[in-house]
Amino acid sequence: MQVLDVGIEFAPSLTNRDDHQRDGRHSGVEFRERYLKDLENENNWPGDAPFIALDFSHVKRLGPSWSNEVFAYFTKFANPEEILRQIKLVNISRVKESIIRKEIETGYSRK
């Protein structure tokens, strides 16, 4: 299983959903397409082993829009628990984890 230090290898500020939101930098779409591309195939759900571990120790800001785009996008393939089994969250604060869980539970907000 790959372990990705999100704050160092991607960006410490994760706020934008896509290129159109605010300055559009380090968006959720960009992250998903770069690191979670394999999970966009329905046949990979539900996986036997975790696909990736995301380390949030160097992440300073985490927004609901970014979280929705990265995590809730997969609610079309799996339920919240399965998503968090495939994409493990490591070294994450309780507030940031609550933001991600809330987004997964509420579902993807883009058609």
Partner 1 sequence: MTDRKHLNIFFEAIGIFTCLMFSIFIIYILSFYEQTNKHLFLQLFEVKLLDWQRFLTIIYGAAGLILGFFFFKTKNSIDETNSKNERARSLLELIHTDLMSADATIEKILNMKAKNSTELNSMRNDLDKIYYGIYSFLDCVEELVEVTEDERNNLVDVFSCVSRSENIYNISLPEFNQDDANDERFNYYATLETARATCIKKIGAL
Among 21, 44, 79, 91, binds partner 1 (CB under 8 A): 21
Q: Kindly determine how many residues on this chain lie close enough to bind partner 1 according to the rule CB under 8 A.
A: 20
Query: Residue 11 interacts with partner 1 (CB under 8 A)?
Result: no
CA distances from 15 to 2, 7, 57, 86, 94 (A): 23, 12, 16, 22, 17
Query: Residue 22 interacts with partner 1 (CB under 8 A)?
Result: yes
Binding stretches for partner 1 (CB under 8 A): 15, 21-22, 60-65, 68, 93-96, 98-99, 102-103, 106, 109
